[in-house]
Amino acid sequence: MKLLIPRNEVKEAVTGLAKIVSTKASLPILSHIRLDADRTVRLTGTNLDATASYTIEGHTPLPTPMSTIIPLEALQSLLKTTQGSTIEIEKTDDHSVTIGCSVGGQVISRRVSTPDLDDWPNLPEPAKTKPVAPKLLEHIRQAIPFASTEDSRYVLKTVFLDVADKDCHKVVATDGRRLNAFNSVRLPLAESVILSTSKFLAWNKLSGEPSIGADKTNEVLTLNVGPW
């Protein structure tokens, strides 16, 4: 069963997921990306603190759903060495997958070992979201440089989404010496939440009409924007 996905979509997904997934992760499974394909294709990466998923709509439909786990490094290498318009992914068996791309009319492929799907972390369900002004993404990016970068001050390595004052919601970051706050966005949150900073959230490719929501019971904050 072969899956064909537009190369430009895979490149966009891998570029973003690489800001969360580490090829040098202490747990080997965290250096991989999970692929789930049915009517859409979803590529997911996690470092356990944060999870990102990219949904691809334009692909050749599969007769049956397909799920597999692929090393991030394998996809990065394929994208660097090939220029075809389509990435081909074929699940060879339960423990390997073949990934390839057309180069000069010929398919360059690589077979890679894949972990068992049962090894993938049990991730919490995303929270229900509501639309929010696109300016929120800009405010988060502008606030991140003001957050602490010291591991010993973990609570300050965050952006605070403050809705305590119902008439003036704020996006706040501080390193203990300086503080930056934006108050021009109305946040559809019932309670204030703390958002850990990351290279992914600072990425300027996140654009579009966002929605946001929080589940305090499961300690989950969900941000949807475009295919992410």
User: What would the pLDDT profile of 44-62 be if each residue is shown by its tens digit?
Assistant: 999 999 999 999 986 666 7
Interhelix angle 72-81/7-17, rounded to 10 degrees, is: 130
Within 8 A by CB and 6+ apart from 173, the residues are: 143, 144, 145, 146, 147, 158, 159, 160, 179, 180, 197
Q: What is the mean pLDDT of residues 172-197?
A: 95
Measure Cα distances from 162 to 171, 182, 183, 224, 227 in Å: 6, 10, 9, 19, 26
Phi, psi torsion values for 8, nearest 5 degrees: -65, -30
Within 8 A by CB and 6+ apart from 220, the residues are: 124, 125, 126, 127, 214
Q: What span, in angstroms and rounded, lies between the C-alpha atoms of 66 and 35?
A: 8
pTM: 0.92
pLDDT at 63: 78
pLDDT at 39: 84
- The mean pLDDT of the chain is 92
Which residues, listed in sequence order, are joined to residue 203 by a DSSP beta bridge?
none
What percent of the chain has pLDDT above 70?
97
Q: What is the mean pLDDT of residues 190-219?
A: 93
Instruction: Tell me which amino acid residue 177 is.
Output: R
Three-state DSSP string of 135-157: HHHHHHHHHHHHCCCCHHHHHHC
Which residue carries 């800001």 as its tokens?
Answer: 19
Q: Which two tokens stand for residue 117?
A: 């799907």
Q: Which two tokens stand for residue 150?
A: 């010291």
Measure Cα distances from 149 to 16, 97, 138, 144, 155 in Å: 21, 38, 20, 10, 10
The closest alpha carbon to 207, from 43, 44, 16, belongs to 16
Q: What span, in angstroms and rounded, lies between the C-alpha atoms of 179 and 55?
A: 36
Other Cβ atoms less than 10 A from the Cβ of 13: the count is 26
Q: What is the mean pLDDT of residues 75-100?
A: 88
